[in-house]
Structure 1
């Protein structure tokens, strides 16, 4: 493929998806990431796209949101690795919330094997992945359907989450920076994500390396609220993503990186500077049982039930999800 043909294809992919990683571009045009990076620089010089950490985005500073069909085909291997690690954080009998997104959909497919689990979600795709799971209860919010990502949004979704208290929230987004935290390009989605986070004692962000260093219009979770980030290993030449990960760790976020060799837990730099990466054993991750009375104390198992929270019935149904003190 000639350089002009490669660059035209790269430009078409960025225009179709909003943001594409160098790794994905190299795979599609069947060349090296070094060559793709050179092509991206040339296109940026012409004002046709902007470079970002490990990828390229539409010009104009903030990235726009891709539709579900486009996002579902991006970074699929990375999302699978992230979902595998995140599923190991979920305990038997736990009550959690799971937001909308292609990565959280992958997580939901793995949660189907966790008995006694209660999952509250505004995502039709998450609910569908768990619909036939044995001994998993699915509770859906109310709201208005947003077709681009199959999520329920609006005041109905937010009101149905009031009074809810669960152990963890698993959410994704369009961008993640140490300075601003997690963000998305849609105001309604951002508002519901904030309501999901408010309901949880801990916040786990699932974001592949293409999201690192990307900033979008609406902040959903500031960095100091993020408990844990599960991500994939950035390309070797992508020093900026590695720097962003270190900055997140230095801000107190527990960063777990999926790699071919296992799981890397990135810790905050000490007084002497430099980065410390402790290579932990692969999954399964040991499961810790919370103390009685704390969030995440578990909920009784039972057959699958799908419920929708709406109107006055929402408050009563949500109250049942709160962990009971012994």
Structure 2
């Protein structure tokens, strides 16, 4: 493929998806990430797109929200690994909330094997993934259907969450930065996500490395409210993503890193003591980074003596940033 053809295809992918990782671009155009990075740099010089941490986005600073078909084809291996690791955090008999998104949909598919689980969600895709799980109770919010991501939004959804108390909230979004936390491109989705957070004692964000450092219009979860981030291992050359992870860790976020090959191995417990989860796969090690504060109690409504409340995470194990690269 000639350079002009590659760059046209890259531009079309970014316009269709809003944001695409270098890894995904290299796979589609069947060339190396080095070549793709050079193409992206040339397209940025023409003002046709903007470079971001390990990827490219539409020009203008804030990415727009792409539709479900585009999202479902982006970073599929990374989402699978993240879902495997996130599922290992869920215990039998727990009550949780799960937000809308393609990564949370992957998580829901793995939660179908957790007995006694109660899942509250505003996502039709999450509910569909759990529809035939006999031992899982699914509770859906009310609200108005938003077709682009198959989620219930609006005042009906938010009101149905009032008075709810669960152990954990699992959320994804369009971008994640240490400065603003999790954000999304749609105001209605952001409002419902904030209501989901208020119902949970612990907030777990699921975000692949392409979302690290990406800032979108509406903040959903401030950084100081995020208990844990489950992400994939950034590419070795992506120093900016690693820097963002470090900044999140410095603000007290527990970092859990899963690689695309995290499904290898067997056994009930991984080497760090985390359970392998309902899928039977070993998750990657949870990685506290230098500078993390000790256990942080969630502010305001997130604190509760409810029996559903999880124990605070251990944030005292020092690990160098280089350990992320070795995994």
- TM-score normalised by the shorter chain: which range applies? 0.7 to 0.9
Matched, 1:69 2:69: yes
> Mean alpha-carbon deviation: is it higher for 258-267 or for 148-157?
258-267
Show the counterpart of 1:108: 108
Matched, 1:126 2:136: no
Cα distance in structure 2, aligned partners of 1:42 and 1:267: 37
The one of 267, 284, 303 equivalent to 1:263 is 284
Q: How far is the alpha carbon of 1:56 from its aligned partner? A: 0.2
Residues 97-176 of structure 1 aligned to structure 2 (within 5 Å): 97-176=97-176
Cα deviation 1:98-138 (Å, max 9, x = unaligned): 00000000000000000000000000000000000021100
SS at match of 2:215: coil
Show the counterpart of 1:89: 89
Cα distance in structure 2, aligned partners of 1:269 and 1:172: 25
Cα distance in structure 2, aligned partners of 1:234 and 1:48: 25
Show the counterpart of 2:224: 224
The answer to which structure, 1 or 2, has the higher relative contact order (CA under 8 A, 6+ apart) is 1
Residues 1-326 of structure 1 aligned to structure 2 (within 5 Å): 1-259=1-259, 260=261, 263-270=284-291, 293-296=306-309
SS at match of 2:249: helix
Q: 1:12 to 1:293 in 2, by over 3 A?
A: closer
Cα deviation 1:183-213 (Å, max 9, x = unaligned): 0000000000000000000000000011000
Query: Are 1:44 and 1:51, in contact at CA under 8 Å, matched by a contact in 2?
Result: yes
Cα distance in structure 1, aligned partners of 2:28 and 2:249: 33
| Higher CA-based Rg | 1
Cα distance in structure 2, aligned partners of 1:23 and 1:128: 30
Cα deviation 1:296-316 (Å, max 9, x = unaligned): 48xxxxxxxxxxxxxxxxxxx
Q: What is the CA RMSD across the aligned residues, in angstroms?
A: 1.5
SS at match of 2:284: strand
Cα distance in structure 2, aligned partners of 1:56 and 1:78: 17
Q: How far is the alpha carbon of 1:97 from its aligned partner? A: 0.2
Q: How far is the alpha carbon of 1:269 from its aligned partner? A: 1.6
SS at match of 1:263: coil
Query: Are 2:176 and 2:212, in contact at CA under 8 Å, matched by a contact in 1?
Result: yes
Q: How far is the alpha carbon of 1:37 from its aligned partner? A: 0.5
SS at match of 1:164: coil
Q: How far is the alpha carbon of 1:293 from its aligned partner? A: 4.7
Query: Are 1:252 and 1:268, in contact at CA under 8 Å, matched by a contact in 2?
Result: no
Cα distance in structure 1, aligned partners of 2:29 and 2:226: 36
Cα distance in structure 2, aligned partners of 1:146 and 1:195: 17
Q: How far is the alpha carbon of 1:45 from its aligned partner? A: 0.4
Cα distance in structure 2, aligned partners of 1:233 and 1:6: 26
Cα distance in structure 2, aligned partners of 1:238 and 1:9: 23
Q: How many residues align?
A: 278
SS at match of 1:163: coil
- TM-score, length of structure 2 as denominator length: 0.83
Cα distance in structure 2, aligned partners of 1:112 and 1:234: 29
Unpaired segments of 5 or more residues in structure 2?
263-282, 293-304, 311-327
Query: Are 2:255 and 2:289, in contact at CA under 8 Å, matched by a contact in 1?
Result: no
Show the counterpart of 1:302: none
Query: Are 1:250 and 1:267, in contact at CA under 8 Å, matched by a contact in 2?
Result: no
